[in-house]
Amino acid sequence: MTAIGRRPRLLVLRALGLGDLLTAVPALRAIRAARPDHEIVLATHPRWEPLIRLADVVDTILPTSGLVPLHWTGPAPDAAVNLHGAGPQSHRILAALRPDELLAFQCARAEHPGPVWRHDEHEVRRWCRLVGEGWSCTPNPADLRLRRPALTDTEPLGSDLAANIGPSTGNPANTVVLHPGAAYPARRWPTQRFAAVARWAVSQGLRVRITGSADERDLARAVAIRAGLGPDTVLAGQTSVEGLAALVSDARLLVSGDTGIAHLAFAYGTASVTLYGPISPALWGPPARGPHLALWNGVASNQPFAATLDPALSSIGADAVVAAAESLLAYDESDVKAAAS
């Protein structure tokens, strides 16, 4: 029970990666709408705080990483929502805080009733359904939007953003962003094929920028070298989270594997070609509306953490990616904005 005069607090658990966080934005927006009087506290990795602020869906970040006990202070949460998974560990982490109400998928091992988990459900719709069924509301799975960050000159890529990718208003920037990295080799399309796409982009008069984490600098440099591009094209390890968001927001096109940066393109309505392998785009693919193409050539192996390139991803040739990119770039600006709205 909430003490008189105290704002009720609602805790949400989603302590996963970038793409995981962004697919939960529509559900978080529905939570905000359903409980407008609550302080929404999101337990997630602290590196994502600047990004989730752009969605305007939470009040407070509770820093955490993975499935570990939460450092919650004060009275027990008035409500808690498990947007992390359907297993007993995440349920028990939240139940240990003794919330007045716990919204989560059904889990017999945690002795928790709730909506039934569906293995064949798209990740965005899954969490929207949990909130919708639990609280009798109507989430909008298409509402993935984020605000574009306003960067300062002291932030990575801040003062150089206009030079790197052009203005954020007017015609779409003349930049193609290539992101060759992924957390596991199963989802990393070969560098020589990314290089082929880079050469095509340059031949079309487009500026290429290659992104990635600090650990992926060598991978990004390999693409640049194979494509005959200079070191200025490599931004891997040089962008903050906000800088990466601004880069994708203002770019003309993103080409990437099935990884977190693709979901930034989905959020901003930036044209994107996303390459799928071990996991079907039916589960993690782009929204139905918008300038996005998902390429997939096979039966899902469901082995996204494998140490070798997935056969379905390997079967996608550079020519197919270039053809997809050309079809997206055939839109003029008004077509792209209309498709994303």
Calculate the average pLDDT of the chain: 91
pLDDT value for 339: 52
Residue 87 in domain = yes
CATH number of the domain to which 168 belongs? 3.40.50.2000
In a shared domain, residues 169 and 318: yes
pLDDT-derived band at 182, boundaries 50, 70, 90: very high
Are the C-beta atoms of 112 and 93 separated by less than 8 Å?
no
Q: Which long-range contacts (CB under 8 A, 24 or more apart) does 118-121 make?
A: 120/282, 120/283, 121/283
Q: Is residue 147 part of a domain?
A: no
175 pLDDT higher than 70: yes
- Report whether 180 contacts 216 (CB < 8 A): yes
Is pLDDT at 6 greater than 90 in this prediction?
A: no
pLDDT computed for residue 169 by the predictor:
33
The yes-or-no verdict on residue 233 having pLDDT over 70 is yes
Instruction: Evaluate whether residue 156 is within a structural domain.
Output: no
pLDDT at 224 over 90: yes
* Within a domain: 100: yes
- Is the pLDDT confidence value at 163 over 50? no
Q: Are residues 68 and 203 in the same domain?
A: no
Residue span of the structural domain in which 36 resides? 9-135
Does residue 141 form part of some domain? Answer: no
pLDDT at position 298 is 84
Percent of the chain whose pLDDT exceeds 70: 89
Same domain for 306 and 171? yes
153 domain-assigned: no
In which band, very low, low, confident or very high, does the pLDDT at 151 lie, cut at 50, 70 and 90?
confident
Say yes or no: 90 and 192 in one domain: no
Closest CA to 259 of 243, 238, 278, 240: 278
Shared-domain flag, residues 82 and 169:
no
Query: Does the pLDDT value for residue 72 go beyond 60?
Result: yes
Q: In this structure, are strands 253-257 and 175-179 parallel, antiparallel, or unpaired?
A: parallel
- Model's pTM, two decimal places? 0.91
**Do 183 and 49 share a structural domain?**
no
Model confidence over 303-318: pLDDT tens digits?
A: 999 999 999 999 999 9
- 206-232 average pLDDT score: 97
Domain count, the chain: 2
- Cβ–Cβ < 8 Å for 180, 210: yes
Domain boundary residue, one of 135, 152, 170: 135
DSSP character string of 62-94: EE--SS------SSPPSEEEE-S-SSHHHHHHH
| Residues 220 and 121 both lie in one domain | no
Q: Are residues 99 and 24 in the same domain?
A: yes
Distance CA 160, CA 340 (A): 27
Contact 173, 165 (CB under 8 A): yes
Residues 88 and 201 in one domain: no
- Could you tell me the pLDDT band of residue 2, with boundaries at 50, 70 and 90? low
The Cα 201–Cα 23 span in angstroms is 29
Q: How many CB atoms lie within 10 A of CB 194?
A: 30
> How far apart are alpha carbons 94 and 62 in whole angstroms?
13
Residue 144 lies in a domain: no
Whether 166 and 298 map to the same domain: the answer is yes
Q: Are residues 82 and 185 in the same domain?
A: no
Same domain for 115 and 80: yes
SS3 255: strand
Residue 246 forms part of a structural domain:
yes
